[in-house]
């Protein structure tokens, strides 16, 4: 993903006043399997956002019934909370050239996908310190995945073998 693609049915965008979040496709996940989801952030001009500016990132995945599936955190999981670490894919070399600018990845365990089939959404919270003051940005609803029903997961009996 290089720039946000508005109107493209293969990608999903969520915008707030300052930040655009995008997945390049909706990940189809079979119940009881593992999967990773890439999310990229852009500024309102459509340029990839430098994730180094954020002191904290939190992503909550939830289903269509608004039941929480998993919490993801960066840089650390806060004391008393449970969840998983966000993998920041953005890197910068010694001359300041970025690779995968604005890109992060969250990965689901089989326990997280062992839920009812349906759409999976992300709520995202980004914290930035500007002139000693905390600025918090929120993206309330980004469609990121779909959990597909699994006959293996449901342990359906076979007629032979």
pLDDT per residue over 35-65, tens digit each?
A: 999 999 998 888 999 999 999 999 999 999 9
- Mean pLDDT, rounded, for 12-30: 81
Domain that holds residue 106: 12-150
Does any domain span residue 45? yes
Q: Provide the pLDDT for residue 161.
A: 59
Q: Contact at 8 Å (CB) between 27 and 146? A: yes
- Is the pLDDT reported for residue 5 higher than 80? no
Is the pLDDT at 15 greater than 70? The verdict is no
In this structure, is residue 67 part of a structural domain? yes
Q: Is the residue at 74 inside a domain?
A: yes
Q: Which of 157, 123, 148, 151 is nearest to 137 (CA)?
A: 123
Into how many domains does the chain fold?
Answer: 1
In a domain, 136, yes or no: yes
CB-based burial, 8-42: b 16+ in 10 Å, e otherwise: eeebbbbeeeebbbbbbebbebbbbbebebbbbbb
Average pLDDT of the segment spanning 2-27: 70
What pLDDT was estimated at residue 157? 63
Residue 118's domain is classified under what CATH number? Answer: 2.60.40.10
Answer whether residue 115 is part of any domain: yes
Residue 138 lies in a domain: yes
Examine residue 161 and state whether it is found in any structural domain, yes or no.
Answer: no
């Amino acid at each position: 993903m290089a720039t946000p693609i508005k109107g493209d049915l293969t990608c999903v965008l969520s915008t707030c006043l300052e930040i655009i979040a995008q997945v390049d496709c909706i990940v189809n996940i079979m119940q009881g399997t593992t999967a990773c989801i890439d999310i990229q952030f852009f500024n309102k001009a459509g340029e990839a956002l430098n994730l180094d500016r954020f002191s904290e990132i939190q992503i909550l995945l939830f289903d269509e019934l608004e039941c929480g599936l998993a919490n993801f955190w960066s840089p650390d999981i806060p004391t008393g909370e449970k969840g998983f670490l966000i993998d920041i894919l953005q890197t910068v070399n010694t001359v300041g050239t970025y690779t995968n600018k604005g890109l992060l990845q969250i990965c689901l365990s089989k326990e997280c996908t062992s839920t009812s089939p349906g759409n999976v959404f992300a709520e995202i919270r980004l914290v930035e310190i500007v002139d000693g003051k905390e600025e918090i940005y929120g993206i309330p609803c980004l469609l990121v995945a779909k959990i597909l029903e699994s006959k293996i997961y449901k342990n359906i009996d076979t007629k032979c073998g």
